[in-house]
Amino acid sequence: MFSSTFKYLIIIILIIIINYIGLIFSLDSIDGLSFSENITDGNSIVISSSGFVWPTPGYNTITSNYGYRNAPTSGAGTFHSGIDIGAPTGADIIAVFSGTVTYIGFSGPNGYTITISDGCYTCNYSHISPYFLVYVGQFINQGDLIATVGPKNVYGVPNNPYKDSAGNPTNGATTGPHLHFSLKMNGNSVNPLNYF
């Protein structure tokens, strides 16, 4: 009697151990297959099916879509070449894909801008902070912090034609802090939202 109960006990314990080991391995393989989990400000980064990551962790509101529109401010084009993502000054901007920094500067209506290219895709991060975190020629890994959202007003830009209603110079043609993100594939402008 005792020995048969003991045998059952041993079998149950073995089943539990085997299941536990199986669980560990299955969790490991799921984790390895899913997505890399870089953490920025406590927000995990999810890579889309096309392989891009969202540039502003924690801020997902599109305030202006890609395409034709009524220009919100003088100097902003009627064809909107990118998407505007509402985010406050100082919000993190991370690299949507890996590539090399090809431009940093004040780019007319786009204001302070970083351009990153991987040879196929080229993207602009615009209306960013003038305190640049990267340099031209630097290789950037996907998910790296590359900039922060800039202020609406910037000072000291020579011949800056962009001003707000109070006459103060602005960070390109902009009515408030946001990220303007534009994307080209093999030189052709595309809607970034098709890639997230």
Contact flag: residue 180 with Zn ion (CB under 5 A)? yes
Q: Does 92 bind Zn ion (CB under 5 A)?
A: no
Torsion angle defined by CA atoms of residues 118, 131, 106 and 126, in that order, rounded to the nearest 10 degrees: 60
CB nearer Zn ion, residue 47 or residue 149: 149
Q: What does DSSP assign to residue 133?
A: S
Tell me which stretch binds Zn ion (CB under 5 A): 47-55, 65-73, 83-91, 155-163: 83-91
Q: In the bound complex, what is the minimum distance in angstroms from residue 166's beta carbon to Zn ion?
A: 21
DSSP assignments along 31-75, one per residue: HHHS----EETTEEP-B-TTS-B-SSTT---EEE-SEE---SSTT
> SS3 string of 63-131?
EECCEECCCCCCCCCCEECEEEEECCCCCEEECCCCEEEEEEEECHHHCEEEEEECCCEEEEEECECCC
Say how many C-beta atoms besides its own lie within 10 A of residue 145's C-beta.
16
Min separation Cβ 52 and Zn ion, Å: 18
As measured in angstroms, the least distance from the Cβ of 70 to Zn ion is: 13
* Least Å from the CB of residue 29 to Zn ion: 41
> By C-beta, is 126 or 142 nearer to Zn ion?
126
Segment interacting with Zn ion (CB under 5 A) among 51-59, 94-102, 156-164, 178-186: 178-186
Q: Is 152 in the site for Zn ion (CB under 5 A)?
A: no
Residue with smaller CB distance to Zn ion, 84 or 92: 84
* Cβ proximity of 93 and 147 under 8 Å: yes
Matching residue, tokens 């390895």: 32
Shortest Cβ 46–Zn ion spacing (Å):
23
Please identify, among the stretches 27-35, 82-90, 94-102, 183-191, the one whose residues bind Zn ion according to the rule CB under 5 A: 82-90
Instruction: Out of 47, 55, 84, 143, name the contact with Zn ion by CB under 5 A.
Output: 84
In the complex, the residues that contact Zn ion under the rule CB under 5 A are 84, 180
